[in-house]
Amino acid sequence: MALADTIAPHLPFLRRYARALTGRQDSGDAYVAAVLKALIADPRIFPSDTDPRVGLYAIFSRIWSSVALNVETGLEAAQAERTIEALTPRSRQVFLLVSVEGFSPAEAGQILGLSHSEINTAIDEAGREIAEQVATDVLIIEDEPIISMDLAKLVEDLGHRVVGTARTHTEAVAMAAKTNPGLVLADIQLADGSSGLEAVQEMLPKLEVPVIFITAYPERLLSGTRPEPVFLVTKPFQASTVKAIVSQALFFGARARNPGRAPA
């Protein structure tokens, strides 16, 4: 099988990982583009003795560690420095690889070149980072009651407060204006047949807030060809996945704020 055909099914998910690491679509996609350029220049760097997805992420990891592309996307210097400083620790990379991308600890170690003990230490460190995350107010946009209840419990367990749950586009926009949340969790398909993407696009000109989209078809939103979500959770989701993405989204959110109370 040609190398292009081998890696093509894994590229949408590599984009998801890259965007979660950088907190931006353009910066994350720039790293993925760098991986593809490297493979075109020398296909022999792709490991033939391992799982293709593991091999692709391993090449990404090497490029991520050696090329500061996230400084070259128009970010102001302070934000760029914050990005590099915060994302260099392997604990965040390990946590995202295991909790979001679904790799086993052994595979994450293979991708990052870490031993079993180093992987376990990194996972523990990431857990502590999440536990220390600044609490904020959360708006949930989800038309399935059971899913919205699960999401509410997850974010409350992290110390955040749910300030509203919307089922439709109209409800979502009204609640966002009323509650001024520090984080939004949004389903893609809403009860009135509208798109969660459209509801969020209507909010954002008036509300600068990190948004996590929830979808059963993440590959449809990760083509890299148009403005797309930075943070995605795949349905059905794991609790650890939601926690990992919430942590990353709030880290990059300029408006994540403490709602003036002790975490629950």
Q: What does the pLDDT read at residue 7? A: 93
According to the model, what pLDDT value does residue 189 have? 84
7 and 125 in a common domain? yes
Q: Which residues contact 42 (CB under 8 A, 6 or more apart)?
A: none
Residue finishing a domain among 109, 130, 151: 130
Asked if pLDDT for residue 257 goes beyond 60, the answer is no
Contact 65, 121 (CB under 8 A): no
Total residue length of the chain: 264
Q: Is 247 in contact with 240 (CB distance < 8 Å)? A: no
Residue 52's CB is within 10 A of a number of other CB atoms, namely: 17
Q: Is residue 117 part of a domain?
A: yes
Q: For residue 190, tell me if it sits in a domain.
A: yes
Q: In 3D, which of 162, 164, 165, 160 has the Cα closest to residue 136? A: 160
- Percentage of the chain beyond pLDDT 70 is 80
Last residue of a domain, one of 130, 151, 167: 130
Same domain for 125 and 243? no
Residues 82 and 138 in one domain: no
Q: What is the mean pLDDT of the chain?
A: 80
Is 123 in the same domain as 139?
Answer: no
pLDDT higher at 157 or 110:
110
Tokens of 241: 């996945």
Q: Are residues 112 and 198 in the same domain?
A: no
> Cis link prior to 259 (omega < 30° from 0)?
no
Which CATH number do you get for residue 35? 1.20.140.160
- What's the CATH number where 224 sits? 3.40.50.2300
CA-nearest of 151, 158, 106, 154 to 127 is 158
Please report whether residue 264 resides in a domain: no
Number of domains in the chain: 2
User: Under a CB-based contact definition with an 8 Å cutoff, are residues 172 and 198 in contact?
Assistant: no
| Confidence band of 262 (pLDDT split at 50, 70, 90) | very low
Please determine, for residue 219, whether its predicted confidence score (pLDDT) is greater than 50.
Answer: yes
Of 106, 130, 154, the one marking the end of a domain is 130
- Higher pLDDT: 151 or 70? It is 151
In a domain, 261, yes or no: no
176 HSE (CA, 13 A, CB side): 27
Q: Is residue 108 predicted with pLDDT exceeding 50? A: yes
Q: How far is CA 225 from each of CA 25, 26, 211, 238, rounded to the nearest angstrom?
A: 10, 10, 20, 28
Contact in structure between 67 and 34 (CB atoms under 8 Å): yes
For 66-124, the three-class secondary structure string (H helix, E strand, C coil) is HCCHHHCCCCCHHHHHHHHHHHCCHHHHHHHHHHCCCCCHHHHHHHHCCCHHHHHHHHH
Lowest average pLDDT, out of 117-126, 152-161, 225-234, goes to 225-234
What is the band of 91 on the pLDDT scale with cuts at 50, 70, 90? confident
pLDDT tens digits along 180-207:
999 999 998 887 888 888 889 898 888 8
DSSP-assigned letter for residue 50: S
Q: Is residue 197 part of a domain?
A: yes
pLDDT one-digit tens code per residue, 34-53 = 999 999 999 999 988 889 99
Q: Which residue range(s) make up the domain with 124?
A: 3-130
In this structure, are 24 and 100 located in the same domain? yes
